[in-house]
Each structure stands twice: as C-alpha cells, then as structure tokens.
Amino acid sequence: MKPSQSIFSFTLITVTLIFFTTLLPACLLEEPKEEGAQFVLLIHGGAGTILKENMKPEMEIKYRAKLTEALEAGAEILSNHGSSLDAVTHVITILEDSPLFNAGKGAVFTAEGVNEMDASIMDGRDLNAGAVTGVRNIKNPILAARAVMEESDHVMLFGRGAEAFAETQKLTMVEPSYFYTESRWKSYERAKERAQKNSDEKHGTVGAVALDLDGNLAAATSTGGMTYKMKGRIGDSPVIGAGTYADNESCAVSATGHGEYFIRNVVGHEIASLMKYGGSSIKEAANYVILKKLKDQGGDGGIIAVDNQGRFSMTFNTKGMYRGYITSGGQTGVMIYDDEP
C-alpha cells in the first residue's frame, strides 16, 4: 500500500477506539510488531491519581475525545509519509491548546500564581534537540522548543531569553491571562492551602512519540510543571534524556510524573541504554525503570515509548495515565485508568 493511501477510515476511529480499548489483548499494547513499512504514534496527557469514581462522565468524554482528535491528526501526517518530528509537534500543539491538560492553555499555576511552561523535542535521526523552560508568553511552547532545535546553536533556552527568541521566530505570543483557567486556579488555591502538600493534582503533562514510515523516531513533551511549584523550579519535561529522548538506534520516550525522580534517573536515556547496550526489549526496559527503579525510590509517573521496530510500551506506576496509540495496521486505543488494557 502506498504511503499516501489512507491506512484506515478516520470516520470510524471513535468506534474502533472503544472496540480496541475493551477487547484488544494487553500484549499488543506492549509489543506489537508489523512487517514492512509502518508508523506508530503514542500520546500521553499525564499520569497521577486518576480514579474513575472521581471522574465526571462528561469530563471523561472530553478527555477521550481530545486524545482521539490528537491521534487522528498525527496519524494523518504519518500515513501521508510525513515525518515523526512533524507528527509529534502537531499533536503537542493540539494538546497545548486544550484546557484539559497541564500544558499551554491548561498550565497549572506556580507558588507565585503565574503560569510557567516547559517543553522539549528530540529528533532520533541525529540526536538534535531543543527545549524551553520557564516561559510565560509563548502560546505553544513546543513550537519554541522546535525553533531552538532548528534555528539556534543551542539546546535549551530559559525564560525571557526563550521568549525573545520566540519573537524573532514570529511565533504566536500571548498575554499571561491567556493561560488562565478556572479549574487550574482552584487547584492552585487548594495547593496553597496545603502548603505544597498536594499530591493529587500533578498529572496533565502532555507528550508524544512516533515512528514514521522512513523508520525515524521523534519525541516531544510539554508541561506547566507542578502545581504550586517554587520559584525557579524546573522539572524533567525540558531536560533531554530525562523527560524526552529519541534515538533511531533504540527508541523514543516521553515521560510524565514527579520530575525530580525522572531527572535523577535520566529516565528516557536509561530506557534507551538498557535496550541499546543491555539487549532489553522496550517492555523490559520500561518495566524495570518505571515499575521497579522509580517505584523503589518513591517516584511516581509513567512513560510512553516506541522502538525502531514499532514495538511500544505505555508504562506507569500510578492509578491512571491519559494515553493513546495508533498504528499503520489500524490498531488504536485511548485509555485513562490503570485497569484498562
């Protein structure tokens, strides 16, 4: 089948998402493999204490619909022989523009009551990478991260310097009020009352990893950080090797969770190294790092990862993780809770 041909019917994707979510064997979620040219796209919308009994039905519908929209958009790019880099970039902008997630429009508030966002992206072909951190005026931080990667000599830019660079790249700049959402402000007020003891509202970071029809891997992550984070705090999302990593010789990884643990363990690179140098499968590597290493240290969160053969894993040690996947073979699904296959 030519890459330009439609791999599946997008008009039926909502139905197939429900079908595969309920019936697809768990083993296919962890290490599916197709022969010949293929693409794979995985997305996440954050991990944390996400319980069905606490989720309003109308909100669950919104989350699943937005994840589905992002998957469809990314799959359309990949099915038409678009690059993994373009796919993950576009997917992240969709999630950043949604107030549902802790990235872009829905970013959480810091201890100072402002929105400060981080994002990073990495190209598995040549290990090129870009990141921004502590930005307050860039509508889509992931576009700024990509501009840093492609239009500068640097990997990471911070705060006002990153914003000034984004302006030179003619990216959309907005007033800080754009990022305000009522639900995030209420989370901030609750966190303020608990003096940083809030552990139930950390989820929401967004990420995407992809393998394209040319066999190239890419990863991208975007976040508003931790609710009520102290001034100057930077998590793992903009740190290449921790929250984001991609290498065509192994895999692409995007992480979400308690960033300090992901930084200390260099989670993205650790998973790739276990595969590249230790001979582990993507499932084995992800399970060891997330379910054993991080868990033993008290670190919570999860990852999405795809290897250069199209095998993938969505591994987390929390009660839930907003996540979804789609492949050139028509396998697709959107899940939220820990008891979904």
Between 185 and 154, the higher pLDDT residue: 154
Rounded distance between C-alpha atoms, residue 82 and residue 91, angstroms: 13
Determine phi and psi for 26, rounding to 5 degrees.
Answer: -60, -30
Q: Is-above-0.75 flag for pTM? A: yes
In a domain, 121, yes or no: yes
Residue 34: partners with Cβ closer than 8 Å, 6 or more residues away: 310, 327, 328, 329
Closest CA to 154 of 139, 133, 138, 175: 133
In a domain, 4, yes or no: no
Task: Say which CATH number the domain at 132 has.
Answer: 3.60.20.30
Q: Is the pLDDT of residue 18 over 80?
A: no
In a domain, 25, yes or no: no
Q: Is the pLDDT of residue 341 over 80?
A: no
Owner of token pair 């970013």: 107
DSSP 212-278: -TTS-EEEEEEE--STTPPTT---STTSBTTTEEE-TTSEEEEEEE-HHHHHHTTHHHHHHHHHHTT
In a domain, 168, yes or no: yes
Query: What is the extent of the structural domain holding 41?
Result: 36-337
In a domain, 306, yes or no: yes
pLDDT of 195? 53
Residues 205, 227, 244, 318: which is the catalytic one? 205
Catalytic residue at 205? yes
Q: Is the pLDDT of residue 183 over 90?
A: no
**Per-residue pLDDT tens for 208-249?**
999 999 999 999 999 999 888 888 999 999 999 999 999 999
Instruction: Quote the tokens at residue 331.
Output: 């396998």
pLDDT of 24? 37
User: Contact, 88 vs 96, CB < 8 A?
Assistant: no
Rounded distance between C-alpha atoms, residue 332 and residue 201, angstroms: 28
Query: Could you tell me the pLDDT band of residue 184, with boundaries at 50, 70 and 90?
Result: confident
* Number of C-beta neighbours around residue 182 at 10 A: 8
In a domain, 162, yes or no: yes
The number of folded domains in the chain is 1
In a domain, 107, yes or no: yes
Owner of token pair 């007020």: 189
Instruction: Quote the tokens at residue 297.
Output: 């240290």
